[in-house]
Amino acid sequence: MKKFIIGLSFTLFLCFSTVAFGQAEAQTGPKPSLDNGTIQSQFDYLYRKSSSYQEYKVVKKTFYQKIKGNVLDSLQVLKKELVDTKQLVEVQGNEIKSLKADLQTTNDNLTSVTKEKDNIKFLGFPMTKSGYNSLLWTIIFSILALLLFFIFRFKSSNSITVQARDLLSDTEKEFEAYKAKALEREQKVRRELQDELNKQKYADKKGKK
């Protein structure tokens, strides 16, 4: 009787253990097999399901073929992903090269536009803005210097002209005074000469009588 009770208890324990283990496996996820899961989990499953013989594991041919196919399929998928990744890298590399070329072209155009913007043609010759401004201010200052020089020369010449006019006026006045005096002396000499002639005529008439 005691053995029966012990056996029944052990059987119930095994039943409850099996049910609890099954519930735990149902909660943790799908049951491991060679049809799902990672390659690592499939090898673990194969190891558990293989029988042992001394230091060796005896693997079923069907399990071996199955896991071999799974590994080859995984390798094929990885190879395809590697080829796709390589192609994607090449495409991205070509795009990067194209973008770099476009960027270089844009930089060259920007440099050219900047040079054209900073350069100004003066009398058909290209010049930078700073050089053009320097030349322009040099011309302006030169014109101002020449203007001041001509103003100074004009004032100096005008002063000389005024002095020459004053001198000429004084000379003309002196000349007029000289002409008046000369005319007066000439008239005086003529009168004296006429008096002498008159005296001479009178003396001749008196001598004839």
Residue 42 neighbours by CB distance under 10 Å:
21
Task: Give the mean pLDDT of 143-171.
Answer: 88
- d(CA 58, CA 5) in angstroms, rounded, equals 39
Query: Are 41 and 17 contacting, i.e. CB atoms less than 8 angstroms apart?
Result: no
pLDDT confidence bin for 198, thresholds 50/70/90? confident
Yes or no: say if 34 and 45 are a contact pair by the CB < 8 Å rule: yes
Q: In the predicted model, what is the mean pLDDT of residues 35-41? A: 80
Assign 18 a pLDDT band (cuts: 50, 70, 90).
very low
**Whole-angstrom Cα distance, residue 146 to residue 154?**
12
Q: CA 99, CA 32: separation in Å to the nearest integer? A: 50
Alpha helices in the chain (DSSP H): 2-28, 39-49, 61-118, 129-208
pTM over 0.75: no
pLDDT at position 143: 94
pLDDT at 115 over 80: no
The answer, yes or no, to whether residue 3 has pLDDT greater than 80, is no
- Residues 108 and 119: beta-carbon distance below 8 Å: no
pLDDT for 84 equals: 92
Ranked by mean pLDDT, which of 65-69, 124-128, 188-192, 198-202 comes out on top? Answer: 188-192
Q: Are 37 and 48 in contact (CB under 8 A)?
A: no
Q: Which residues are within 8 A (CB) of 135 and not within 5 positions of it... i.e. 6 or more apart?
A: 122, 127
The listed range with the strongest mean pLDDT (120-124, 158-162, 205-209) is 158-162
Token pair of 78, please? Answer: 């990885």
Q: How confident is the model at residue 10 (pLDDT cuts 50, 70, 90)?
A: very low
Higher-confidence residue: 100 or 63? 100
Spatial neighbors of 42 by CB under 8 A, at least 6 apart, are 32, 33, 34, 67, 70
The average confidence (pLDDT) of the chain is 78
